Amino acid sequence: MTEPIPVFDERPDRYKGYRGAARALLERERVGVWSDVLARTSRGDFAGIILPRSETADDRHIVIKMVSGYNVGLAVANVISMVERGYTEAHYKVPEKEFPVDGGKPNVVLFGTGGTIASRLDYRTGAVIPAFSPGELYGSVPELADVCNLRTEKLYGVFSENMAREQYIGLAEAIGRAIREEGIDGIVVGHGTDTMHHTAAVLTFMVQNPPIPIVMVGSQRSSDRPSSDAALNLIHAAKTAGTSDIAEVLVCMFGPTSDEYGLLHRGTRVRKMHSSYRSTFRTIGDIPMATVDRDEIVPLRSDYNRRREDREVTIDAVFDDRVSIIYYYPGMKADVIDSLIDCGYKGIVIAGTGLGHVNKPLYPALKRAHDAGVHVYMTVQTLWGYVQMYVYDTGRDMMELGVVPAANMLPEVAYMKLCWALGHSHERDEVKRLMLTPISSEITRREPHDGYLIYQGGLPEVAEFVAGNLK
Amino acid sequence: MKTPEQMTAEDYARLGFMAGLEVHQQLETDTKLFCRCPATRYSPRYDAELLRHMRPTMSELGEYDGTALMEFKTRKEIIYRIARDTVCTYEMDDAPPFSLAEQALDIALEIALKLDCKLVSELHIIRKQYLDGSIPTGFQRTTIVGVDGELRVGERIVHVRQLALEEDSCREVSDRGHRRVYMTDRLSIPLIEVVTEPEMRTPAEVVEVGEAVRRLTRSTGKVRTGAGAARQDVNVSVKGGTRIEIKGVPSIKMFRALTHYEALRQKALLDIRRELLGRGLRPDTFAPTWHEVTALVRHTTVAPIRKALKEDGVVYAVRLPRFRGILRHRTSHQHAFDHELSGRVRVIACLDGSPNLMHDEDPGMSIAPRLWDAVRRALDCVNGDSLVLVWGPAEDARLAASEVAERAREALIGVPSETRQARADGATNFERILPGPNRMYPDTDLPPIAITDERVARIEDTMGPLPREWEACCRERGLHLELIIPLERSGHRDLFERVVTELNVPPKLAAVVLGQLTRWARRRYALYCDEERIFELFKAFAADRFTREAFRSLLKSLGSDPGLKVGDVIEAALPRSSAPDPQATVNRALAEETHWRAIVAPEARLKAAMGVAMDAGLRGRVPGREVRVLVDEALSAADIEREVNHD
C-alpha cells in the first residue's frame, strides 16, 4: 500500500532542523524532509531520503539516508539541483503488547521522571523512541512479566540534571499515594543516572519509614543499543521492588561492568563515581545492602528496615532550595561566600579539604554568613572519611564561626538534607538537630575497614584479583 | 559434483552466477579509530575478562530482525578478553567515543579517490548492529566516505558501490555451547570496506577483482599487511537463488572454490525445492512434528546420545513428512542436505557436538533399527517420511528440534538468506541468518564531520599515482611486472622514486632492494629497516662505498637494531682499512680453495669459482662483474695449464 504524497506546501515541518543556506536551498528546489531525492552535486549524484537535521549542526549541509541505510551529508555549496522522486515519512509509534497480569506476582508501580528506560529505534530516521507504558516495556523487556505485575506512571520528562524542588516534592507525594491508596508491593523510580543519588537522598528524607522497597534505577548505556544495561537493571529493580524485604530507598545499578549482578545501595550513601562506566554507582564509606540477579537477592547486611504489611508512611515533602555547595579550592576568595549571602542563600554546604578545612581569608565571610542567619555545614571533598575539626586549630576556629561539622555525610547528601531541613525550620538549633540526626545512615557511627576499597591497578596482587574475576 | 576446473564461463552463465565483493582492509595508523589506544599487532595476552549479553532491539515494525532474534535465541554468554595496553574503556563500551582519527580518514579518502568514488561532503557516523557479540557495543561505528566508484580490472570496469571507514571487530577465540570468547586487541582498528557491485560472472573473475582491489589499497603504502589485515566477504547468488554472504575469507585464492561450491549448493537447494513441491508439499501446509523420545532411546549404545543422557539431557525426534531421500541429497562436494540442518542446530541451539543430529537414512552412526521403529511409531510416521534425532540439555534440544523443522520448511521456499563461514576445503558452514538492511541508525555520540574541498585537494596533491599509471611509468624504466608488484606491495614506492631520481641508482637494482630484499629481511628474520636509513644506505652505494652484492647483509645488520647508524654498519662489515687487492685476492683464493677444479660444466665451474673469490672478502667491495673478469682470466689460465699438463 502506498500512501499518497502530500502536497509540498502542506507538509508540516518540511524544513525541520534546517536553517540559513541549507534551508534556502531546500526552498529553492522545493524539496524537504522525507523527500526521496536525486541530488546532482559537483562531487557526483547522490540519492536518498532527506532527514531532519540536528538543531546544533551547521547550515551548510543537507543530510540524506541512502538505500544502503547509511547517512551522508551533501554540502549546500556543491548541490546543483535536487529532484523529488518520492516521499517517505517516518511514523513514530511503539508497538504495544498487553502486559500479562498474574495474581500470584507482586504488584509494582514504575514512576518515570525522564530519560529512557527502554526504547525502540526508527531505522528510517534513526530516532530513538522511548518505550514506557507497560505494554511498550513488555514488548522490549518481556522478562518483566516473569517478575511482577506492572503499572507505569510518567511523572516528568526531564533530564536528571533538571530534577529540582518541584519534581522532588511531586515524586515523594506520588510515592505516598501509591503506598497508601494502591496496596502495591514495591515502587521503581526510573531516573537519569547523573543526579540519581541526589534524588535517592532527598527521597530518603521525604519518604520516611515506608513499608515497601522504593528502588531507583537507570542505565549507563542507552537502551537502544544491544549492549545496554537498561533491561537488566530494570529487571533487577522490579525484582527488588516486588520481592525484596528491604523497605528503604535504594539505588539498583550494575555491580561489575559485566552483565552479572546489580548492587542495592542505600539512598544516602551512594554516589555516581565514573562518568561512563556501567558499574558507576558505589556505596561510599560502607558496604552495599545486597546483591541482586535474575534469581535471587542476597543481603550483605542485616541492619535495614523490613518490609511490612501496613500502608503507613511518613511523607515529609518540604524543600527550601536556597542552599549552595562550595567546593573549596586553595586561594578561594571571601567574595564567593559573600555573594551567596548577598543573594539571599540560607544554607551553605562546604566540601572542605582533608578533614574539613578552608583557608583563613574566608573566615570573615563565614562569620558574616553566620551573623546573617546562613546555616553553614562542613563536609569533606575526599568523600571517604569523617569531618574532624578538632585536630587542627583552624578547624576549631571555624566551629567558633558557626560552621557545623557534618560527620561523614556525603556533600550532595548534606546539600539535599539541608534543603529539606530548611523546609522545616530556620531556627539554628532545630536545623542542627535535623541535620545531625540520621534518618537512614546519611551519618554512620563508624566506618568499617572495607567501606573504603579502591584497588590500585598495576599492583601484582590486584592484577591477580582482576584476572581471576569478571570485571 | 563438478569441480571448478570442470566448469566453463558458459556453465556459470547458465547457472546465473553473480558475485560481488566486500573487501575489508585495515589501515596503517598510530591509533584506533575512535580512541587513542595504539593500533598495534595482535597478542594473545590479556589481563582481564568481562561478560556481556546482547539483547535485540526492536525494529520499526515492532518486530525483531531475523538475525537479532536468532542471536537472542542462542542465549550466548559473550566473554571479552582485554589487555590494558591495547584496550581502554571505549572498546569495553564503558565510555563514549573520542573523535574520529584524522589519519585514518585521510587514508580512506585517498583510497576513495583512487577508486574514483564520489566523496560525501559530510561524514555521518552510523551504528550498524551486530548481535553476535563481535563488538561489545552491539554495533559497529561506520561511515560512508565515497560512493559509485570504479576500478579497472584488466580490460573491464568493475563498479564500486561504496567505500566505508569503520572500526574492526573482535577476534573470536572459541565458541562452545552457550559461551563465545573474543580477544579485543583487533577491536576498533581502523579499516575500510570496499563494496563492489555484483558484477562478477565466474569464480575466476572474483579472484581477479579481489586481487585488483588489494593491489590498489596496498599501493598507498598506508594499509596493514599480514595475517588478518585484509579480510573479504563475498556475496554469491544464482538464478532463482538468494544472495548468500560468505564471511571472512582470509585468502583471495579461496574465492574460486568457495563461490563455485556455493553456486552449486544453491542449485542443489533449488533442485530439492522442485522435488519437494513435486511431492505435493507446500511451505504453508508443511507440518513437521517433534516429540521428546528420551525414554525410547534410553538404551542406545550410540556414544554422543549416551553422553547427553548421562548429563541429564533429552532426545527429540523430528518427523519430516515426505522428506525421504532429501537429507542425503548432495549440496556440496563435502556435504548433503542434512548438513544444513546440522548447521542450524549448532549455531542456534548451541549444540556443537559432532555429530549433533542423526537421521534414519544416515549411512554413518545410527541407533539400532528397532529403536528407529519405536520412534517412527511414536511419531506416527508413514512411508516416505524422514526422521531426525537431536539431543542435549532439555531447552537446547527442544530448540534444536524446532530449528530442524524450520529449516526443512525453508527448503520448500528455496535458498534461505544466510551468512556462511568459509571452510578451507571450499565448502561453507551456516553462520547466521543474513541481517536485514534495517539495522543502521545514526551515532548520536559524534557530530558530523565536513570533508572540505581543501582537504580533498591536499590529499589529491600528495597521493601517488594509481597502480596502472605507476606500472606504466615503471615499465618505461625497464622494470617488468615481477619487480613492480613486490615493490608496490613493499610500500617503499616513494623511496624508490627518491633513490632513482636523486641518487641515480639503476631502477632495477632499487626495485630489487626495496621490493624483494626488504621483504626477505622482514619475512625471514622479522627485521624492519626504516626508510631514512635505507636511503642513507643507497647514498653510500651511490658514492661507491660498497657494491650491490652487499645490500643483503647490510640490510640484515641494519634491521637488527633500529639504533645502528648506516655508516657504522658499513664500516663494521667492510672496513676501509682492509680493502683488498682484487687481482691478488682472486688468485690466492682460487689457489687455496680448489673444489671448483673438479667441476666439468663450464657454467657451474665459473659459478663455483666466483663464489670462492667473492667469499674471500671481495663481496660488497668489488663489483661482481669486475671479479668475474678476473676469475674468467684465472680459469682460462688454469685451463691452459691443464691442457699443457695433459699434453
Touching check for B454 and chain A: CB below 8 Å?
A: no
B68-124 pLDDT, tens per residue? 555 566 678 999 999 998 999 999 999 999 999 999 999 999 999 999 999 999 999
B178 interfacial to chain A (CB closer than 8 Å): no
What are the chain B neighbours of A68 within 8 Å (beta carbons)?
Answer: 144, 161-162, 437, 440
Is the pLDDT assigned to residue A170 strictly greater than 60?
Answer: yes
Interface of A with B in 195-254 (CB under 8 A): 220-221, 223-228, 231-232
What gap in Å lies between CA B635 and CA B647, rounded to an integer?
A: 18
Q: Can you tell me the mean pLDDT for A407-435?
A: 98
Taking CB atoms and an 8 Å cutoff, what residues of chain A touch B50?
256-258, 470-471
| B93 interfaces chain A, CB cutoff of 8 Å | yes
Output the DSSP codes for B154-188.
TTEEEEEEEEEEEE--PEEEEEETTEEEEE-TTTT
pLDDT of residue B647: 53
Indicate the residue of B62, B124, B139 with minimum beta-carbon distance to A225. Answer: B139
Residue A370 contacts B where some CB pair is shorter than 8 Å:
no
Contact A70 B53 (CB under 8 A): no
State the pLDDT at residue A1. Answer: 41
pLDDT in tens, B24-67: 999 999 999 999 999 977 788 999 999 999 887 655 444 555 55
Beta bridge partners of A68: none
Q: What is the mean pLDDT of chain A?
A: 92
Mutation target to probe the A interface, by most A beta carbons within 10 A, among B46, B60, B135 is B60
Best of A71, A221, A280, A461 to substitute, by most chain B Cβ atoms within 10 angstroms, is A71
CA gap B153, B205 in Å, rounded: 9
Sheet with A249-254: list strands edge to edge. Answer: A149-154, A107-112, A186-190, A214-217, A249-254, A262-266, A290-292, A297-299
Q: Any CB–CB contact under 8 A between A74 and chain B?
A: yes
The Cβ of residue B372 has, within 10 Å, a number of other Cβ atoms equal to 20
Query: Which pLDDT score is estimated for B578?
Result: 72
- Residue pair B88/B31 in contact (Cβ under 8 Å)? The answer is no
Give residue A91's pLDDT.
60
**Segment of A63-77, B109-123, B350-364, B579-593 carrying the highest mean pLDDT:** B109-123
Mean pLDDT of A340-365: 95
Which of A14-28, B286-300, B613-627 has the weakest average pLDDT? B613-627
Q: Which residues pair with B231 in a beta bridge?
A: B24
* Angstroms from A3 CA to nearest CA on chain B: 17
pLDDT > 70? residue B644: no
* Tens-place pLDDT, residues B126-145: 998 888 899 999 999 999 99
**What is the number of other CB atoms lying within 10 angstroms of the CB of residue A80?**
10
- Cα–Cα distance between A433 and B550 in angstroms, integer? 90
Predicted confidence at residue A132, as pLDDT, reads 73
Minimal CA separation from B56 to chain A, in Å: 6
Strand A186-190 relative to strand A214-217, pairing: parallel
Longest Cα–Cα distance in chain B: 104
CA dihedral B374, B376, B382, B386 (to 10 degrees): -150
Using CA atoms, how far apart are residues B23 and A23, in angstroms rounded to an integer?
38
Is the model's pLDDT at A94 over the cut of 60?
no
Contacts of B137 in chain A (CB under 8 A): 221, 225-227
Q: Which of A73, A122, A226 lies closest to B55 in CB terms?
A: A226
What domains does chain A contain, in order, with CATH numbers?
8-87 (2.30.30.520), 107-315 (3.40.50.1170), 323-436 (3.40.50.40)
Strands A107-112 and A149-154: parallel
Interface probe, candidates B51, B109, B121, B443, chain A, greatest A C-beta count within 10 A:
B121
Tell me which of A219 and B618 has the higher pLDDT.
Answer: A219
Does ipTM exceed 0.85?
A: yes
Taking CB atoms and an 8 Å cutoff, what residues of chain B touch A122? 60, 441
Length of chain B as a residue count: 647
B635 touches chain A (CB under 8 A): no
Q: What is the pLDDT of residue A129?
A: 66
Range with top average pLDDT, A164-168, B51-55, B517-521: A164-168
Q: pLDDT of B454-507, one tens digit each? A: 999 999 998 888 878 888 889 999 998 889 888 887 878 889 999 999 999 999
- In contact, A452 and A442? CB cutoff 8 Å: no
Please judge whether A228 and B439 are an interchain contact, meaning their C-beta atoms are less than 8 angstroms apart: no
pLDDT of residue B97: 96
- Binning pLDDT at 50, 70 and 90, where does residue A190 land? very high
Average pLDDT over residues B365-380: 92
Q: What is the mean pLDDT of chain B?
A: 89
Record the cell numbers describing residue A453, joined without a space: 576499597
Q: Determine the Cα–Cα distance for residues A119 and A117; give it in Å rounded to an integer.
A: 7
Percent of chain A with pLDDT over 90: 75
Is it the case that residue B234 has pLDDT exceeding 50?
yes
pLDDT recorded at residue B60: 41
Over residues A239-291, the pLDDT tens digits come to 999 999 999 999 999 999 999 999 999 999 999 999 999 999 999 999 999 99
Q: What is the distance of C-alpha B552 from the center of its chain?
A: 31
How high is the pLDDT of residue A6?
Answer: 84
pLDDT in tens, A95-132: 567 788 999 999 999 999 986 666 666 655 556 666 77
For residue B632, the surrounding DSSP H or E stretch is helix B624-646
The interaxial angle of helices B493-503 and B481-490, nearest 10 deg, is 110
> Do A57 and B448 count as a contact with CB atoms less than 8 A apart?
yes
Class of domain B282-411: alpha beta
Residue of B48, B131, B438 with shortest CB distance to A123? B438
A10 φ, ψ (degrees, to nearest 5): -100, 0
Annotated active-site positions of A, please?
116, 193-194, 272
Question: Does residue B179 belong to the interface with chain A, where contact is any CB pair within 8 Å?
Answer: no
Predicted pLDDT of residue B545? 86
Contact B94 A257 (CB under 8 A): yes
Q: Is residue A302 within 8 angstroms of chain B, CB to CB?
A: no
Element (H, E) at B104: helix B102-114
- State mean pLDDT over A294-318: 96
Determine contact: B460 vs chain A, CB below 8 A. no
pLDDT of residue A393: 82
For chain B, the structural domain boundaries read 4-275, 282-411, 465-578, 582-646
